[in-house]
A and B are shown apart, each in its own frame.
Chain A
Amino acid sequence: MPPFLTVKNVSRSFGRNRVLRDVSLSIEAGRLVGLVGENGSGKSTLLKIITGMLKPDRGEVALSAKMGYCPQEALLFEQLTVLEHFRCFAAGYNLPDGEWQRRMEELLTHFRFKNHLRKQVAHLSGGTRQKLNLSLALLHQPDLLILDEPYAGFDWETYLHFWDYAEAQIGAGRSILVVTHFLSDQSKFHQIFDLKNGMLT
């Protein structure tokens, strides 16, 4: 089975500033992987290249699995309800009716925000927005889930529920990449990549 994600000799510069230098990594099935780096280390650039938002100057990225991406900032429509968000993203993932509603029910129950289903995002608390932000990335049951600085927005309850969920997903052969400037629970991770000055150490 090929790795879910392979990053091979990726480099990227902005003007004279070399942000990434020959970065290579791979993520196999059933792995919890951390990508750690301080501000300015190049992790945001690497994340954009992995998700496809940015093109590398050199090197290549191969993705052989269904990807789910949870951005750091909750990217949501203020005037849409929670239910409408699920409907919007279900269309993107091409999930048939019935299947996405079932998945939505599971996620609403697991992260405990079912009572907010018909509320507009503008009226949700920061914690509930983060739950929705994460749930939208999980709706299509991705093989590889990429989380950008997840701890920044999670409240304690969501944090605990997230780890429950993560353990179940990894047990089912799925993988999670956590991109962060600080990892508090290093023992939970199968592998940690440390990015310094655009290079993996």
Chain B
Amino acid sequence: MNIRRILTGFDLTLRQLGRRRITILLLLLIPTVFYWVVYYTTSERIVPFKLASISEDTLIEVAEQHESLVFIGVAAVGFLASFMGLNLVQKNAGVHRRMVLCGYRPWEIFTALLAVLALAVLLLALYVGGGLCLFFTPENLPGVILGFFAAGMVYGSYGILAGALIQGELEGILLIVLLANIDAGWLQNPLFYEGAQNKEFIRYLPAYFPSQVSLTAAFSAFSFKKALAWSAFYGGVLLLAGMFFYHLKTKIYR
């Protein structure tokens, strides 16, 4: 293990991200716009919904607007993290290959990229979590942010996997859209889940557990540890798959 290479890779990848000012602006703008659109278009009527990860009988009642804001927060962090993961792996794939030819090990570059992704997702989760407080006060704000972070890491890992598998930029984006839009962007909305058919299918999708962490923390005092552990499991599986394909993509036969 060469710590110097990992730290150099981390530092330089972070600098690159920091110099993309329009990217940073959009990362801040998108959740803000999502929040305001949801705030503007949802009502304050009280709706019942199930905290499915606790039990199918655990019914709580909250304002539709508050529930929708938490849901869109999870979705926003998930979407943005998946595109960041894709971009980190895919954008400079040729240079990364060259770095491997020059002595870096694929997993050293991968570790540096992952550390940058984790830091970016953490900052994003804090920003989106903080933004939520402008609209209402969640029961457990750190728990909500933890759920946002989990959604970011699960979908960030999915983005890394997509980037390691697919060479083309558009194809990578479409692969993300294929899952993220329907999962994080639609099926995990508890109001939809309430009346959904084949709920088992929804429970197996990657955004299910992170959504449950944030919703449980936002509106109840129930423990979300189990949902958090399952989020880590999903993120870990996606990350290992991403690491495997990244290794195949960049390895040197010598």
Q: How far apart are A136's CB and chain B's nearest CB, in angstroms?
A: 8
Q: How far apart are A84's CB and chain B's nearest CB, in angstroms?
A: 6
Q: Knowing A79-B20, A92-B5 touch, does A84 contact B94 (C-beta < 8 A)? A: no
Which residues of B from 77 to 96 have beta carbons under 8 Å from A? Answer: 92, 94-95
Q: Knowing A77-B92, A79-B20 touch, does A51 contact B101 (C-beta < 8 A)? A: yes
Tell me, yes or no, whether B8 is within 8 Å of chain A by CB: yes
> CA A75 – CA B2 in complex, angstroms?
23
> CA A97 – CA B57 in complex, angstroms?
63
Quick check: A77 and B103 within 8 Å, CB to CB? no
Quick check: A76 and B253 within 8 Å, CB to CB? no
Tell me, yes or no, whether B197 is within 8 Å of chain A by CB: no
B-contact 0/1 string along A57-73, CB 8 Å cutoff:
00001010000010101
Q: Knowing A55-B253, A88-B8 touch, does A77 contact B102 (C-beta < 8 A)? A: no
> CA A54 – CA B249 in complex, angstroms?
11
B-contact 0/1 string along A67-98, CB 8 Å cutoff:
00101010111011000100111011110000
Q: How far apart are A145's CB and chain B's nearest CB, in angstroms?
A: 13
Inter-chain contacts of B19 with A (CB < 8 A): 79, 120
Quick check: B104 and A92 within 8 Å, CB to CB? yes
Inter-chain contacts of A75 with B (CB < 8 A): 94-95, 97-98
Tell me, yes or no, whether B12 is within 8 Å of chain A by CB: yes
Tell me, yes or no, whether B199 is within 8 Å of chain A by CB: no
Tell me, yes or no, whether A15 is within 8 Å of chain B by CB: no
Tell me, yes or no, whether B4 is within 8 Å of chain A by CB: yes
Quick check: A84 and B98 within 8 Å, CB to CB? no
Quick check: A54 and B20 within 8 Å, CB to CB? no
Inter-chain contacts of B2 with A (CB < 8 A): 91, 94
> CA A88 – CA B20 in complex, angstroms?
19
CB contacts between A and B, total, < 8 Å: 65
The size of the chain A interface, using a CB distance under 8 A, is: 26
> CA A52 – CA B98 in complex, angstroms?
11
Out of B16, B92, B102, B254, name the residue touching A92 (CB < 8 Å): B102
B-contact 0/1 string along A84-118, CB 8 Å cutoff:
10011101111000000000000000000000000
Tell me, yes or no, whether A53 is within 8 Å of chain B by CB: yes
Tell me, yes or no, whether B252 is within 8 Å of chain A by CB: yes
A-contact 0/1 string along B3-45, CB 8 Å cutoff:
0110011001001100110000000000000000000000000
A93 (CB) vs chain B CBs: closest residue: B103
Quick check: A71 and B102 within 8 Å, CB to CB? no
Out of A53, A63, A76, A87, name the residue touching B8 (CB < 8 Å): A87
List 18 A-B pairs, Cβ < 8 Å. A52-B254, A53-B252, A69-B101, A71-B94, A76-B95, A77-B12, A84-B15, A87-B12, A88-B8, A88-B9, A91-B4, A92-B99, A92-B103, A93-B102, A93-B103, A94-B103, A136-B102, A140-B102
**Chain B residues at the A interface, C-beta cutoff of 8 Å:** 2, 4-5, 8-9, 12, 15-16, 19-20, 92, 94-95, 97-99, 101-104, 252-254
> A-B pairs with the 5 shortest C-beta distances?
A92-B103, A92-B102, A52-B252, A52-B254, A79-B16
